[in-house]
Amino acid sequence: MTYDDFSKQDLVLLVCDLIDGLMQDDEEQAMIYLRDTCELNDEQLEFFGVSSSNN
C-alpha cells in the first residue's frame, strides 16, 4: 500500500479523528504536541477543527 492508495479526503478525516482523540485525552498536551512536534500553525489547526483559543 502506498500514499496514493488514500484519497485526500480519507487522510483529512483520519487526521481529524486522531486530533480529536488526542484532544479528548489531554487537550493541553495535545496542543503542545500539535504545535511543537507537528508544527501546525493556527490556520492549519482551524482547518482540522481545533480552535486557536484552545491553546
pLDDT score, position 3: 86
With cell 488526542, the residue in question is: 22
pLDDT score, position 36: 97
Reading the block at residue 55, the C-alpha cell is 491553546
pLDDT score, position 41: 95
Q: What is the per-residue pLDDT across 3-54, written as a single tens digit (0 to 9) for each?
A: 899 999 999 999 999 999 999 999 999 999 999 999 999 999 999 999 866 4
Model confidence, pTM = 0.78
